[in-house]
Amino acid sequence: MANAKGQSEVAEGVLNGIELKALNGVIDAVKQQPQVARATFGVEAETRSGFQTRSRTAKPTLGGAALAGRTHTFEFVGDHPPELLGKDEAPAAVESLLGALAACVSGGFTMYGAALGIPVESVKVELTGAIDLQGMMMLPAPGVVRPGFERIHAKIRVKSPAARADLEKLKDIAESTSPVKDSLRAVPYTSELLSEA
Domains in the chain with CATH codes: 41-90 (no CATH), 92-196 (3.30.300.20)
Which pLDDT score is estimated for 9? 45
Question: What are the Cα distances from residue 1, in Å, to 5, 32, 76, 89, 107?
Answer: 11, 14, 35, 44, 17
- Does residue 10 register a pLDDT over 90? no
- What is the arithmetic mean of pLDDT over 147-164? 96
| Category of 57 on φ-ψ map: left (φ > 0), alpha (ψ -120 to 50) or beta | beta
Confirm whether pTM is higher than 0.75: yes
Confidence of residue 196 (pLDDT cuts 50, 70, 90): confident
Q: What is the mean pLDDT of residues 113-118?
A: 96
Backbone angles phi, psi at 13, to 5 degrees: 100, 180
Contact 2, 8 (CB under 8 A): yes
Residues 79 and 100: their CA atoms lie apart, in Å, by 16
> Residue 78 burial by CB count (10 A; 0-12/13-18/19+): exposed, middle or buried?
buried
**Best CA proximity match to 187, nearest among 81, 109, 94:** 94
Reference 124, options 147, 153, 103, 95; nearest CA is: 103
Span 31-49, pLDDT tens digits: 999 999 999 999 999 999 9
Q: Are 120 and 113 in contact (CB under 8 A)?
A: yes
Give the per-residue pLDDT at 133: 95
